[in-house]
Structure 1
């Protein structure tokens, strides 16, 4: 996740000074999905995304209420994010400064086997084996759709109280959807 790893939290601290509380959420993710239908691979899709979300809370003058404003960018651009922060803070921005940001605390949730290290051929063989096993065990199955998905997400959360956290998560998904027929009745 090179884009996120290259960012310096201190470059983003000025975004967090325009309200009573502010936070920035920077995320980069990558994912891949295999769709297996009619005993064959139907679709392979992959993609990546990254961007910044900002949220600014300001006390409504003369009340105990807070107003929340939020916005996002589909890129890691500290200057564009600073402009977005100014717009979100509105004309009431009063020169408040966020606390300095330390190096982020880090958390990761390591996978025993990283999904991206498993060859595509092995994943398709797994889906084929599951398809054959289900059809052998349940001859009433008329239609079987299998989905395998994987995602890696890295994110950085910064706030105006001087807190910074970097985290990485890996997830996988497996879904089996079957339609069976018995005595002329179809059921999913």
Structure 2
């Protein structure tokens, strides 16, 4: 998962590899703490080019994750794929020597998306982990029409009605149910 910057030809090159999720510490930690399991190896394909003082890494990463549905708690698999372009540099551009004019906004190197590295090699491990974490759904659902669990008995409503009377469900607006507004 390392790119040796001194070996990048002028036309660039393509790098493909596949690694188990346990080669990525953040993904392993997510499996232990959050229950997010990466069920297939992480597949990466990148094109690497040198551009002046920067190294451009453009490509995609993909795998399959097993998640728990936020409504019914059932485990399901979701394919993850993310395309990205990253720029690595040894030295970040310095801030302007003069203070910016009133009303101007100056972006820091981090805000521009540059990633600083030391030495003669770029380790893609952190960047790949970051891309996969960003590819995860914010609100994982087994299906868009998942009915969830019964708030009274906990039955999975996707399997059928549980028979509970859910008409009396406690709602923050229940107090307004019998409110009569005068004219």
Return the TM-score normalized by structure 1.
0.25
Structure with a larger share of its residues in strand:
1
- Counting helix residues as a fraction of each chain, which structure ranks higher? 1
Larger Rg over CA atoms: 2
Higher RCO, 1 vs 2 (CA within 8 Å, ≥6 residues apart): 1
